[in-house]
Structure 1
Amino acid sequence: MKRRGFLIGAAGIATLGVSGAWAWRTATGSMSAYRRYAAGLRAPLPRDPAPSDLVRYAALAANGHNTQPWSFAVLPGEIRIRPDFLRSTPAVDPDDHHLFVSLGCAAENLRIAAEATGHPGEIAIEETGAIRYVFSNGASRPDPLFDAIPRRQSTRADFSGTPVSAADLKTLAEAAETPGVDLAILTDRPAIDRVRDLVLAGNDEQMADPAFMAELRTWLRFNPADALARGDGLFAASSGNPVLPDLLAAPAFDLFFTAKAERQKYARQIDTSPGIAVFTGEREDRVHWVAVGRACQRFALAATSLGLCTSFINQPVEVAALRPDLAAIAGVAGRRPDIVMRFGRGPQLPFSPRRPVESLLT
């Protein structure tokens, strides 16, 4: 759900250097090939989609570090989503909170896609956090959120700062309505500034944690060749950063990915955001974390359908000591906030990679 990038200036690239455009492309792979791959992942569903087609759309959901921590089982009249703990991120997500929020995001994509293509059903969440979508064949149910599924992305870029209209804010809030989940939409600048300060404090603490940094490194994909080969992780171009050959990636990371640079980036991105959304489940358990995922996915899809962008700024959720301050800002004092998103108008960036559908099916 958090795509962290790092800024590498032209001077830094020149210092590190490679000889010739051919050598560079050979070492990094082709962005044109990557874009064709990403477009294929997001191709429209057929009129009568197979379960594997629905799984492809489900897997386009937001998820932490783009680990895609899920597997799918297709049964007669039923699709199950299970956690894949081999893709957990214990340093940033020690209780698997983000993992189960990610499952909820995938479940909501699945339900929307299935109902829009004539497979209406219901989502059931087990206490373990496993999810069942039980469906039948019926009439298709048009939904503007369905068309937004392949277009949604977490946009790690500056926004325009243009205010979001009251009508659009209402649409976002109504789309995210989910039993067991509270949503606070912050649009006044003092409240946004307070959230920004928590994000910066959380960023500093995380970047001083060797375990966090080591885990983050394992999920970074610095070039299209690596992103295509692995089908997961945080692709540099998806965060608006230059692609680099693997040989240069590690030294570049050490030189340019600094707490100061990240502070400046996050401050600028939040300062250009006209709104922040904070999602809070009624209880701290897997069932409610999944519910939060469903709510925030619907919020992001509604934003996409309105021409808005979203991205996650979850440091005040991930650093436990900052949660009480965030809860107070969001009006849910005494509870644990689950997800923080900024929203506004911004550019489209290259989409993040996804694993092949066949690798998700069990």
Structure 2
Amino acid sequence: MNRRNLLTVAGGTLLLTGLGVYGWRSSVGSMAGYEAYASRLRAALAPEPQILDLIRYATLAANSHNTQPWRFHADGGTIDILPDPSRRTPAVDPDDHHLFVSLGCAAENLLIAATASGRPGALSVEGESVRYAFSTAQARPDPLLAAIPARQSTRADYDGRPLAAADLDKLRAAADMPGVRLVLFTERTQIDRLRDLVIAGNDAQMADPAFIAELKHWLRFSPRAAMASGDGLFSATTGNPVLPEPLGGIALDLFFTAAGERDKYARQMDSSAGVAVFLAEGEDRAHWIAVGRACQRFALTATGLGLRHAFVNQAVEVARLRPELAALAGESGLRPDIVMRFGYGPSLPFSPRRPVAAVLV
């Protein structure tokens, strides 16, 4: 019996004994209701979208732990994206690197959606925030627009099929951003070496009580909890069973092991067609935001090509592994910023998002 089945059986037995079928359903909520909620969040833009619609599309961007560490302020012809310090993850991201990468991802979504709907403009970094200053003009369709609501970080096994050279070229071109370097690993020996670094980073994190406590804080085990918070890592989005929140915490303590996670990441890396490593030419907020923009464009382009992607950032998050990762990428002296595997794979439920009203200043 695999761990997923064991979780399901243990959860069902424990809860049905105490509460029965009705108690289970009322404490967990329905996946059908969750899917309707996710569809509303990802509804296509209206022909003439309002500013709040553009901000909604910005919030669909990739971000660390699905903390959504951003706030938005709209005023006339500007939209500012500001960091939300209440959503920091100091154990995994002590210098707020991932936070500012996440702001860059949201900024790129905003730029694409606004330009495509008749509000072209430019992004600039203003201290800790990103400003989008725009005017009004004729809409300019962008093929990446349709990928924004369809993109997801798919934490599943892929099928291992290689990509065509032309598609790899499209991914490289999409991530072409000043100050950012992209290295693609597609040879199996290279991916194997990178896999070993990911696993080493995972082992280090699993041995860190602060990391585990922080991860637990952002886990959501039931559709009801995921919709109520609008954030965090919902178990269904990783292919795991849904459970009542108290039982989910117990199951995590029982079955979330270093060995199990090691096997999972080894399998997922082995099933991927390739891995992208993003490195910035500077270690500052402006460069981290640029990395976020580049990796968001990469992810949207991958989505448009029918590919899946997922972050495997352990060798970035464990500082002692960064020099070896940079050397493997042929970029010694630079700090690796993002590691993203990609390939052909299944779709999973979408991650939750907070309503626009919750992120407005």
TM-score of Structure 1 vs Structure 2, range by shorter chain: over 0.9
Q: Aligned runs of 1:207-286 on 2, under 5 Å?
A: 207-286=206-285
> Partners of 2:225 and 2:5 in 1: how far apart?
19
> Partners of 2:178 and 2:294 in 1: how far apart?
9
Cα displacement (A) at 1:12: 3.5
Provide the secondary structure at the position in 2 that maps to 1:171: helix
Cα displacement (A) at 1:8: 5.5
> Partners of 2:172 and 2:87 in 1: how far apart?
31
Q: Which residue of 1 aligns with 2:25?
A: 25
Q: Which residue of 1 aligns with 2:102?
A: 102
Counterpart of 2:110, as a letter, is: L
Q: Which residue of 1 aligns with 2:14?
A: 16
Counterpart of 1:294, as a letter, is: R
> Partners of 1:69 and 1:28 in 2: how far apart?
26
Provide the secondary structure at the position in 2 that maps to 1:123: strand
RMSD of Structure 2 on Structure 1 (CA): 1.1
Cα displacement (A) at 1:158: 0.2
Instruction: Give the stretch that moved more between structures: 202-211 or 241-250.
Output: 241-250
Q: Which residue of 1 aligns with 2:337?
A: 338
Counterpart of 2:73, as a letter, is: A
**Matched-pair contact (CA < 8 Å) for 1:62–1:102:** yes
Which structure 1 segments of 5+ residues have no match? 1-5
Cα displacement (A) at 1:80: 0.4
Q: Which residue of 2 aligns with 1:180?
A: 179
**Matched-pair contact (CA < 8 Å) for 2:60–2:149:** yes
Provide the secondary structure at the position in 2 that maps to 1:144: coil
Q: Aligned runs of 1:190-201 on 2, under 5 Å?
A: 190-201=189-200
Counterpart of 2:48, as a letter, is: D
**Matched-pair contact (CA < 8 Å) for 1:62–1:106:** yes
Q: Which residue of 2 aligns with 1:133?
A: 132
Deviation by residue 1:215-237 (Cα, 9 ceiling, x = unmatched): 11000000000001100000000
The list of structure 1 runs, each at least 4 consecutive aligned residues, that deviate by more than 6 angstroms after superposition, is none
**Matched-pair contact (CA < 8 Å) for 2:163–2:273:** yes
Counterpart of 1:247, as a letter, is: P
Structure 1 150/209 Cα, relative in aligned 2: closer, same or farther at 3 Å? Answer: same
> Partners of 1:27 and 1:195 in 2: how far apart?
41
Cα displacement (A) at 1:274: 1.0
Q: Which residue of 2 aligns with 1:120?
A: 120
Q: Which residue of 2 aligns with 1:87?
A: 87
Deviation by residue 1:251-303 (Cα, 9 ceiling, x = unmatched): 10100111011011100000000100000000000000000000000000000
Counterpart of 1:16, as a letter, is: L
> Partners of 1:265 and 1:54 in 2: how far apart?
36
Cα displacement (A) at 1:176: 0.8
Deviation by residue 1:175-206 (Cα, 9 ceiling, x = unmatched): 11100000001100111001100010100100
The size of the alignment, in residue pairs, is: 356
Q: Aligned runs of 1:289-328 on 2, under 5 Å?
A: 289-328=288-327
Provide the secondary structure at the position in 1 that maps to 2:140: coil
> Partners of 1:270 and 1:17 in 2: how far apart?
35
Cα displacement (A) at 1:22: 2.2
Cα displacement (A) at 1:14: 4.9
Counterpart of 1:333, as a letter, is: S
Identity %: 62
Provide the secondary structure at the position in 2 that maps to 1:131: strand
**Matched-pair contact (CA < 8 Å) for 1:275–1:344:** yes
**Matched-pair contact (CA < 8 Å) for 1:8–1:241:** no
Provide the secondary structure at the position in 2 that maps to 1:150: helix
Provide the secondary structure at the position in 2 that maps to 1:310: strand
Could you state the TM-score of these two structures normalised by the residue count of structure 2? Answer: 0.97
> Partners of 2:283 and 2:13 in 1: how far apart?
48
> Partners of 1:112 and 1:55 in 2: how far apart?
11
Provide the secondary structure at the position in 2 that maps to 1:141: coil
Cα displacement (A) at 1:15: 5.1
Matched, 1:360 2:327: no
Matched, 1:49 2:49: yes
Provide the secondary structure at the position in 2 that maps to 1:108: helix
Could you state the TM-score of these two structures normalised by the residue count of structure 1? Answer: 0.96
Deviation by residue 1:302-341 (Cα, 9 ceiling, x = unmatched): 0000000000000000000100111011111111000000
> Partners of 1:175 and 1:117 in 2: how far apart?
20
**Matched-pair contact (CA < 8 Å) for 1:7–1:256:** no
Which structure 2 segments of 5+ residues have no match? none
**Matched-pair contact (CA < 8 Å) for 1:7–1:257:** no
Counterpart of 2:31, as a letter, is: M
**Matched-pair contact (CA < 8 Å) for 1:66–1:233:** yes
> Partners of 1:21 and 1:79 in 2: how far apart?
48
> Partners of 1:16 and 1:281 in 2: how far apart?
49
